[in-house]
Amino acid sequence: QVQLVESGGGLVQAGGSLRLSCAASGLIFSRYNMGWFRQAPGKEREFVAAITWNNDSTYYVDSVKGRFTISRDNAKNTVYLQMNSLKPEDTAVYYCAADRGQVATSAVWYDFWGQGTQVTVSS
C-alpha cells in the first residue's frame, strides 16, 4: 500500500520560511519523479515544483522560482520543499505526488498523492 505523508506546514508571517517534507512508503521511491502541488480555497490544484527520480532536473511554476527549492533524499524515501520569502498568496494546502512516467507538471499524470498539509502565510 503506497503512502505519501506530508509534514511541516503551519502558520508563518510574510517573508518567513517553511520546509515541507513528504515521506513515501510502499513504492520504490527512487523510480518515481516527485512533485508538489497546492490548492487554495476556491481554486484549482496548481503545480508548484517537480524533481526527477535521479535528482537530475527540477521544475518550478514561475511564481515560486527563486523562492522555493525542491529536493529529495532517495536513501530516506523523502522529498522536500524549502519555501522562503513566503507571501500571503502562497497560502494553500500543499500536496506531494509520485509519478512513475516522465516528469510532469500536470496533476493528471501523477499516480499517488498525499493527504496534504496546510500552509498559511499572514500579511
Is pLDDT at 32 greater than 90 in this prediction? Answer: yes
- What percentage of residues in the chain have a pLDDT greater than 90? 97
CA 9/CA 7 separation, integer angstroms: 6
Q: Which of left, alpha, beta for 112 (phi over 0: left; psi -120 to 50: alpha)?
A: beta
SS3 content of the chain, % helix, strand, coil (to 5): 10, 50, 40
What pLDDT shows up at residue 66?
98
Mean pLDDT of 64-69: 98
Mean pLDDT of 70-92: 98
The size of the chain, in residues, is: 123
What pLDDT shows up at residue 103?
86
**What's the grid cell of residue 93?**
494546502
Q: Residue 6 — very low, low, confident or very high, per pLDDT cuts 50/70/90?
A: very high
Rg (CA), the chain: 13
CB 68 within 8 A of CB 49: yes
Mean pLDDT of 28-55: 96
